[in-house]
Chain A
Amino acid sequence: MAALPKAVSRGGPGALSVGVRRGSRETLVLLAFVLIPFALEMFWTFWPALNSVYISLTQWDGIAPPVFVGLDNYARMWSDETFRTALRNTVIWLVLFGGLSVLGGLGLALLLDKPRKGIGIYRAIFFLPVVFSMVVTALVWRMIFQPDGVVNSILAAVGLEDQARIWLGEPETALYALIVPALWRQVGYIMVLFLAGLKTVDPLLHEAAKMDGASAFERFRHVTLPQLRPITTVVLAVTVIDALRSFDIVWALTKGGPYHSSELLSTYQFSTGLLGSQLGYGSALAVVIFLLTVGTIVVYLVRSLREEEAA
């Protein structure tokens, strides 16, 4: 019974004094809660990132002290044939891998949106590769692309032997052969994101548009797409980030070869900066990857803001 007056007094001025007395220790606990994780992450992300920017202005083999060379590393990129190939491949990768995974994911999501019998199984199947690592994905597809693998066997079976190739071993096909497994793994992920977005689309608007005689495509274009805008922004940001940091699949299957034909900026950065002991040039490449990511996302955001204003 004593609990009642005690509880009441806690609500009164008594609570304040307890709070103050306890206050300093509580504040310390709270500071530790926030500052330990914060400091840990900042130390292992922003601090190295700033260091990278500085290292990119030096020539450094990792052993002797770094020599400051200004923007020389960036100037060197202009005349570096491999850099140009890697940059071009990265843009191709961004457009093809990014574009096709968004289109494929959206398509699957639209097909699998309405409740139907068996729809859960289809969703699960398309989603399954998402849980595999890119390395597992790579080894799976290596068997398909092998000279005596599935693709060539199918080609032979339908009488197209002359089209058979060493898909991962020829400069003309290597990059595109890499995009296929990457898509196989990414499409299910994008599908799940769009499925969540489609849940927010108001079915009444669809009914109304149907009544007004809008075709399925018109309804998609003018009812579904505008309402998907928030999730589309998210998907595009995720896709750009994922596309520009793609590394595993290429490293696992071709290491950027043959003759740099499937080189991405990320693999070139690893080969020069970490394996080739050109830490300065490698860091400059890393800075370029960073700027490319930020730039692409900013351009998209500015464009979609403008469209919104215009609408």
Chain B
Amino acid sequence: MTARKSRVRPWFFHGGMSVLAFLWLVPLALVVVTSLRTFDDLADAGLASVPKGLTIDPYRQALDSGEWQSIVNSLIITVPVVVVTLVLASMAAYGLARHRIPFRKTMLLLMLAGNLLPAQLLLIPVLKLTEQFGIFDSRIGMIVVLTAVGLGFYVFVLHGFMRGIPDEITHAAKIDGATTFGVYLRIVLPLTKPAMAALGSLAFTWTFNDLLWAITLLRDEQKLPVTPAILGMQGEFVSSWNVIAAATVIAAIPTVIVFLRFQRYFISGLLIGSAK
């Protein structure tokens, strides 16, 4: 009976699913195709038409009009944020998870709570603080703020992960004379690698995709990361859909690379991420 059932149902299942999956991909296909068309072709036939020919010219136009610089800006901001976040978060998580520090639970919960505050509640005072410190409208300011407001989540996840490391391992190292820092560097960090990879790829995507902080803390167009920059390009290239599409594809490439490279970790990261 089950054999008969399973012969009919896969057909049904795959039929429905492939239609749905196809619909899911249509928007992406549309952008990629549009990004490869000429302006005249689009102007003649409209967005929803079969292309007459393909060209990579829109990509050159997008990169020449400043998108290259904004991708570089994105990386100048994102890479330090990811690195500093992982270093600071793993330090705090190590201290809180492996040592009897007074108020450790309170500190952990405060850090998590700080991460869950809506950004809107922070925007105005943080803007004023960066002005006072002279880091308003600077990439350094973006790095400091994005690192600081995100920390709690990473500490929380790493804390859970580090508590799972058996006591015997760190004890043995302590008895052999390892310092607190030595245990952190040579024992706990290597054991935390999978979690760090997961959190690192999440941090990269979140930081790279940020819009709200960038439009709050940056004014100079030369310093804008790519996410807010492609929004601005809409004004510059009104109705040049091919260039806007190319710019969009370019802006998506770095996160897609990180996702493909760290796919396994990325999804496990989202899962532990949901634990917040």
The reply to whether chain A is a binding partner of chain B is: yes
Chain A residues close to B by CB (< 8 Å): 7, 10-11, 15, 18, 22, 26, 29-30, 33-34, 36-38, 40-49, 51-52, 55, 62, 111-112, 116-118, 121-122, 125-136, 138-144, 146, 148-150, 153-154, 181, 184, 189, 192-193, 196, 231, 234-235, 238, 241, 244-245, 247-248, 251-252, 265-266, 269-270, 273-274, 279, 282-283, 285-287, 289-290, 293
**Residue with the highest number of chain B CB atoms closer than 10 Å, among A34, A189, A241:** A34
Measured CB to CB, the closest approach of chain B to A244, in angstroms, equals: 7
B111, A144: Cβ atoms under 8 Å? no
Verify B101–A30 contact, CB threshold 8 A: yes
Q: CB distance B28 to A135 under 8 Å? A: no
Cβ B17 vs Cβ A122 within 8 A: yes
Instruction: Indicate if the CB atoms of B123 and A273 lie closer than 8 Å.
Output: yes
Q: A37-B88, A245-B119 are in contact. Are A52 and B114 (CB under 8 A)?
A: no
Chain A residues with CB under 8 A of B176: 7, 10
**A197→B203 CA distance, assembly (Å):** 24
Interface string of B225-258 (1 = CB under 8 A from A): 0011011001000000100110110011001101
Shortest distance from the beta carbon of B234 to any chain A beta carbon, whole Å: 7
Q: List, sorted by A's number, 19 A–B pairs whose CB atoms are closer than 8 Å.
A: A10-B175, A22-B179, A38-B110, A41-B115, A44-B145, A49-B125, A51-B125, A125-B21, A127-B267, A131-B256, A131-B258, A131-B259, A132-B256, A133-B209, A139-B231, A150-B48, A192-B271, A273-B120, A289-B120
Find out whether the CB atom of B211 lies under 8 angstroms from the CB atom of A251.
yes
Give per-residue flags for B258-269: 1 if the beta carbon is below 8 A from chain A beta carbons, else 0: 110000001100
| B interface bracket (residues with beta carbon within 8 Å of A) | 35 or more
- Give Cα distance in the complex from A58 to B230, angstroms: 36
Cβ contact within 8 Å between A135 and B149: no
Which residues of B have CB within 8 Å of A141? Answer: 27
- Check: B216 CB closer than 8 A to any chain A CB: yes
Q: Are A29 and B180 in contact (CB under 8 A)?
A: yes
Q: Are B48 and A43 in contact (CB under 8 A)?
A: no
B window 5-38: CB within 8 A of A: 10, 13-14, 17, 21, 24-28, 30-31, 34
Q: Measured between alpha carbons, how far is A111 from B266 in the docked complex, in Å?
A: 22
Q: 11 other contacts beyond A133-B227, A142-B234, with CB at 8 A cut-off?
A: A18-B177, A44-B149, A51-B128, A111-B13, A112-B17, A130-B270, A133-B252, A149-B48, A245-B119, A270-B120, A285-B120
> Which A residues touch B95, using CB under 8 A?
30, 33-34
Give B195 Cβ to nearest chain A Cβ, in Å: 16
Best-surrounded residue of A49, A149, A273, A293 (most CB of chain B within 10 A): A49
Inter-chain contact A37/B151, CB cutoff 8 Å = yes
From residue A281, how far is it (CB to closest CB) to chain B in Å? Answer: 11
Interface SS, B side = helix
Q: Find out whether the CB atom of B118 lies under 8 angstroms from the CB atom of A286.
A: yes
B180 and A287: CB pair below 8 A?
no
Indicate if the CB atoms of B121 and A42 lie closer than 8 Å: no
The answer for the CA separation of A238 and B118 in the assembled complex, in Å, is 13
| A287 and B107 form a contact (CB under 8 A) | no
Interface centre among A132, A146, A189, A245 (most CB of B within 10 A): A132
Instruction: Give bound CA distance, A235 to B28, whole Å.
Output: 27
Q: Which residue of B lies closest to A292 (CB)?
A: B118
Among the listed A51, A238, A285, which residue makes an inter-chain contact with B274, where contact means beta carbons less than 8 Å apart? A238
Selected from B128, B184, B248, B258, the residue in CB contact (under 8 A) with A33 is: B184
User: Is the C-beta of B47 less than 8 angstroms from some C-beta in chain A?
Assistant: yes
Bound-complex Cα distance A29 to B25 (A): 51
* CB neighbours of B227 from chain A (8 A): 133, 135-136
Q: Which of A238, A274, A290 contacts B121 (CB 8 A)?
A: A290
A149 CB contacts on chain B under 8 angstroms? 47-48
Contacts of B148 in A (CB 8 A): 40-41, 43-45
B116-A252 in contact (CB<8A): no
Which chain B residues border A55 with CB–CB below 8 Å?
124-125
Is B47 within 8 A of A146, CB to CB? yes
